[in-house]
Amino acid sequence: GRRFPPPWQTRVFTVANQKGGVGKTTTTVNLAAALAKAGLKVLVIDNDPQGNASTALGIEHHSGVPSTYDILINDVPISEVIQESDVIPGLYCVPATIDLSGAEIELVSVVARENRLRNALAAYLKERSRDGQPRIDYVFVDCPPSLGLLTVNAFVTAREVLIPIQCEYYALEGLSQLLNNINLIRAHLNPALHVSTILLTMFDGRTNLAHQVAEEVREHFPDQTLHTSIPRSVRISEAPSYGQTVLTYDAGSSGALAYLEAAREIAKRGALPPETSVDQAVDE
Ligand code: ADP
Ligand code: MG
């Protein structure tokens, strides 16, 4: 069917990988678009000063537009910042502007600096339910490629971590550091945080290397890795310059179908229990 089952509670994902250019933003916007097209309500929080997720969703985000920065620094509620996509109804975005690049430093002296985003999201979800608005089913927080206070805020906000892994050389490099950081967050700030989902991106089935990387990732993370991998596709990389996701830019393309299938898997399988530990697996 074309509609996906709603989760039994709002699922909040942080899309993270300390490497840049591995497909975090691409995965965030295309999974969000696929879930929204399947009838669910989806919120993307752009938590990267680059604002690439906002661009790809066609959301206004020039300097001065109310944004993630205002939520983190100025106590502005999400309801005053959120924008709905013109292209896909039910898809919402909290945009990032260039102002967010200063937040990393400014947050240092802010009270409850690690909890700013979590508190704002909790208040917003509560406000929607109080006002009888339809529930947000999925939240995706798109992160910069670093572990500063912006990413810490995202890890404190989410229950689930989604790690996109590019099927290239050194794919697993840096991963144990990411998993260590997630463990630290779990120990000190957010006991519910766990890696629920791994998605192989930019998979080129013609190369042995891609198959080797995919095999290695599946060996380490058998339960977390989605069966669907995302192929390398020109249509995927073209879509953002039209302010679109590949789901609307070229709905029949291999990239669009792959993201749709990955979203279907995520919707179907639900979250793994927080006890599941993947860091042990990677150390072996
Ligand atoms: P990150 O957010 O991790 O830095 P991006 O999602 O911005 O990574 O992707 C990095 C670059 O790779 C972008 O130019 C994007 O368009 C491109 N890209 C991402 N996924 C694919 C894919 N499956 N096929 C082709 N290009 C891709
Ligand atoms: Mg990005």
Nearest Cα residue to atom 24 of ligand 1: 232
The predicted model gives 84-93 an average pLDDT of 96
Decide which of 3.30.1370.60, 3.30.980.10, 3.40.50.1100, 3.40.50.300 is the CATH code for 11-283: 3.40.50.300
* Interface pTM, i.e. ipTM: 0.99
Q: Distance from the CA of 26 to the center of ligand 1, in angstroms?
A: 6
Cα(19) to ligand 2 centroid in Å equals 10
Residue entry with tokens 């998605």:
199
Give the ligand 1 atom nearest the CA of 26. Answer: 6
Give the pLDDT confidence score for residue 1 in this predicted structure.
Answer: 54
Q: Is 36 exposed, middle or buried (0-12, 13-18, 19+ CB in 10 A)?
A: buried
Neighbours of 219 (CB within 10 A): 11
Residue pLDDT, tens place only, 14-65: 999 999 999 999 999 999 999 999 999 999 999 999 999 999 999 999 999 9
Q: What SS3 state is found at 106? A: helix
Residue 139: what pLDDT? 98
Q: How far is the CA of 148 from the centre of ligand 2 (A)?
A: 15
Which positions ≥6 away from 160 have C-beta within 8 Å? 11, 12, 13, 14, 193, 194, 195, 196, 197, 271
Q: What is the number of the ligand closest to the CA of 231?
A: 1
CA 162 to ligand 2 centroid distance, Å: 13
| Ligand 1 center to 47 CA (angstroms) | 17
Q: Which of 161, 237, 245, 261 to mutate to test the pocket of ligand 1 (most atoms within 8 A of CB)?
A: 237
Separation of CA 22 and ligand 1 centre (Å): 6
Give residue 271's pLDDT band: very low, low, confident or very high (50, 70, 90): very low
pLDDT at 284 exceeding the cut of 80? no
CA of 151 to the centre of ligand 1 (A): 19
How remote is the C-alpha of 141 from its chain's centroid? 4
| Lining residues, ligand 1, CB within 6 Å | 20-26, 52, 145, 201-202, 230, 232-233, 236-237, 255
pLDDT of amino acid 147? 87
| Tens digits of residue pLDDT in 161-209 | 999 999 887 888 888 889 999 999 999 999 999 999 999 999 999 999 9
CA 193 – CA 92 distance, rounded (Å) = 24
Residue 69 has pLDDT above 80, yes or no: yes
> What is residue 229's predicted lDDT score, i.e. its pLDDT?
97
Residue 76 corresponds to which tokens in the numbers above?
Answer: 């502005």
| Amino acid, single-letter form, for residue 167 | C
What does each C-alpha distance from 89 to 22, 83, 124, 138, 262 come to in angstroms? 28, 11, 19, 14, 20
- Percentage with pLDDT > 90 across the chain: 86
Q: How far from the centroid of its chain's Cα atoms is residue 205's Cα?
A: 25
pLDDT exceeds 60 at position 238: yes
Average pLDDT (124-135) is 97
Residue 177 buriedness (CB in 10 A; 0-12 / 13-18 / 19+): exposed
Please report which confidence band the pLDDT of residue 272 belongs to, taking 50, 70 and 90 as the band edges: very low
Residue 273: which pLDDT band, with cuts at 50, 70 and 90? very low
For all residues of the chain together, what is the average pLDDT?
93
Q: Which atom of ligand 1 is nearest to the CA of 22?
A: 3
Which residue's CA lies nearest to atom 16 of ligand 1? Answer: 237
Residue range 60-83: average pLDDT? 97
pLDDT at 14: 98
b/e map 227-257, b = 16+ CB within 10 Å: ebbbbbbeebeebbeebbbbbbbbeebebbb
Question: Looking at residues 69-98, what average pLDDT do you find?
Answer: 97
Q: Is the pLDDT score of 4 beyond 70?
A: yes
Q: How far apart are CA 120 and CA 30, in angstroms?
A: 24
Distance of CA 19 to the CA centre of its chain: 14
Could you tell me which of 35, 61, 95 has the C-alpha nearest to residue 245? 35
| 67, 117, 160, 277, 284 from 121: Cα distances, Å | 13, 6, 15, 26, 37
Output the pLDDT for position 275: 52
Name the amino acid, one letter, at 188. Answer: H
Which residue out of 24, 26, 229, 249 has the highest number of ligand 1 atoms within 8 Å of its CB and is therefore the one to mutate?
26
Ligand 1 atom nearest 19 alpha carbon? 3
Domain ranges for the chain, please list them. Answer: 11-283
* Residue 94 token pair: 């909290």
Q: What is the mean pLDDT of residues 93-99?
A: 97
Instruction: Name the residue with tokens 């430093």.
Output: 105
Give nearest CA residue, ligand 1 atom 26. 237
| Dihedral pair phi/psi, residue 201, rounded to 5° | -120, 165
* Averaged pLDDT, 227-235: 97
